[in-house]
Chain A
Amino acid sequence: MTDAIPAGAAEKREAGKSASQLSTWLAAGAPTLVVIAVILGVMEVASWYTPSYVMPSVSSIGGALWRLMTLDLHHVLTTLLRLAIAMTFAIAVGTALGCIMGMFRPIQPYLRSLVIIDAGIPALSWMLIAVFWFRDPEIRIFFILSVIIIPFYALNVHDAIRALPKDWVEAIGTFRPSLFQIFYLLILPHIVPYILMTTRSIIGYAMRMVIFAELIGAAIGIGSAMGLAQGAFEMNVVLAWTVLLVILNLVFQQAIGLIEARVLRYRPEATIR
């Protein structure tokens, strides 16, 4: 006997699946929406009883946000470009340092000490040092971001190599690979999840750092624009920038999530009940 599939059953199943996905997304997003609504409500009520330089109305913040998105986009793009360049450099250098620490034992204690010392220097110190050392604001910002972010990648990549299963190394060793082949075929794919995880963890922090660096030493960029708004007592603009930064961080997190889903598709999803 052949099992007959009723006409339209597949479409119905697909429609049901889509509806189920939509309800899952709504259920997941509902608490966030509730929290946002409560925050906006509190801000609006506060704006009724306080001067606009303390708490502007929600509509005023919305208007400022619209102006930023339409007229001040160059600040956003400049900040994003700075962030992208410094992040790319930090990922490359941090990963290289982590790999050197993981693959060359004699150098490891010295390099790790250096990275840990770097990690222990407060971001503010680096910002002040950069002001003394560099005249060009672009170099200042690049330097500040790099020295702050590199240790995260270096230490996490080093830990990733330390966590490399001995079984894999032995199994690959039976083919007598060169050191470069071990790096390229074994270590590099193994550290990718760690690099993505580090990026996910620090992207918000890196964004904050670039804003601080712009605040103290740049004429263009979100940090600089926020400094100008603060100087002009434009609280609605400061809050509009803040909202935009939160949105950007959510976009980054989503983008990294999509990259992870693509690059790490080989990993099984664990379900804890």
Chain B
Amino acid sequence: MSEILVENVTHHFDAVLAVSDLSFRVERGEIVALVGRTGAGKSTAFNMIMGALKPDQGVVRVAGHDPFANSKALRGLIGVSFQNDRLLPWLTARGNIEFGLRILGVPAAERRKRADSWLEQTKLDGAGDLYPHQLSGGMRQRVSLARALAIDPSIVLLDESFSQLDHVTSKTLREDFGALARRLGKTCLLITHRIDDAVEMADRILVLAPPAHVVMEARPRAAGASPKSLQESIERALGGEDGAAEGTERTLAGGRPALVARGRVA
């Protein structure tokens, strides 16, 4: 059973079509990136998976549950990290990491133990007693990721989690997080507009074009896949700097995604 299932999902905001027949799956232990330009419908798809938005048509299932109708069933199953860290300013780094555990009713001693372990795993040793304003942007994002992981979720959703950081910090963080997620066997869905984030982290990349639908699928970790050429292909699919790609337009003309690259992308 897929951990995340999105099947023939369509959604409108008033008269505007935001998601058009979007379908994809994320299997257990897989890291999948949804890549798209601003306005491609990534966030709409993300909100539907989070259970914050009910699709007009189609099916969304997360760990077998309908996230909108049965939101409470996902308690403790999903960890989420956002573009901005969203840390609570009155809690220390440790307090923020413990936050989800408090909601799940984990006893104080166990919370502390787990938070300390996550501080260590996310390379935040010694920062546990610092408040968010005393931490750097990269450290705050590490705390945010640790908060998401501390509840030991089976699914981790990352909404542009590395996008606001500088290039070096972002690279280090996604390398660390990618390794951690693989080691722990987490299912991850990364929403991003940054191709390098997706290429470096994901097992599979789904390129979205507006209104949200998949126009390209790629596996950067497949044998022989070249990150550079893959990046160029995705850029072409995303349409360069000034609008929809020729390739994207071609695929849309037929109404179905045709620009699909599986395995090796030349």
Q: Are B89 and A175 in contact (CB under 8 A)?
A: no
Stretch of B78-86, B201-209, B212-220, B257-265 that contacts chain A? B78-86
Q: Are A176 and B90 in contact (CB under 8 A)?
A: no
Interface bits A164-189 vs B (CB < 8 Å: 1, else 0) = 00011011111111000100011001
Given known contacts A185-B102, A185-B103, A267-B89, is B84 in contact with A174 (CB within 8 Å)? no
The one of B86, B100, B148 in contact with A167, judged by C-beta atoms closer than 8 angstroms, is: B86
Q: Are B103 and A171 in contact (CB under 8 A)?
A: no
Provide the residues of chain B in CB contact with A171, threshold 8 Å.
80, 82, 86
Stretch of B69-77, B161-169, B231-239 that contacts chain A? B69-77
Provide the residues of chain A in CB contact with B50, threshold 8 Å.
174
B151 on the A face (CB < 8 A): yes
Provide the residues of chain A in CB contact with B12, threshold 8 Å.
none
A132 on the B face (CB < 8 A): no
Provide the residues of chain B in CB contact with A167, threshold 8 Å.
82, 84, 86
A266 on the B face (CB < 8 A): yes
Q: How far is the CB of A124 from chain B (nearest CB, A)?
A: 40
Provide the residues of chain B in CB contact with A168, threshold 8 Å.
86, 88
Interface bits A251-268 vs B (CB < 8 Å: 1, else 0) = 000000000000000111
The one of B71, B92, B131 in contact with A176, judged by C-beta atoms closer than 8 angstroms, is: B71
B133 on the A face (CB < 8 A): yes
Q: How far is the CB of A186 from chain B (nearest CB, A)?
A: 7
The one of B52, B92, B103, B157 in contact with A175, judged by C-beta atoms closer than 8 angstroms, is: B103
Q: Are B151 and A170 in contact (CB under 8 A)?
A: no
Provide the residues of chain B in CB contact with A170, threshold 8 Å.
52, 82, 86
User: With the chains together, A266 CA to B94 CA distance in Å?
Assistant: 13
Closest to A177 in B: B103
B99 on the A face (CB < 8 A): yes
Provide the residues of chain B in CB contact with A190, threshold 8 Å.
90
Provide the residues of chain A in CB contact with B90, threshold 8 Å.
189-190, 192, 266
Interface residues of A (CB under 8 A from B): 167-168, 170-177, 181, 185-186, 189-190, 192, 266-268
Q: 27 A-B residue contacts at CB 8 Å?
A: A167-B82, A167-B84, A168-B86, A168-B88, A170-B82, A170-B86, A172-B99, A172-B103, A173-B52, A174-B50, A174-B79, A174-B148, A174-B157, A175-B75, A175-B151, A176-B72, A176-B103, A177-B103, A185-B99, A185-B103, A189-B88, A189-B90, A192-B90, A266-B131, A266-B133, A267-B89, A268-B133
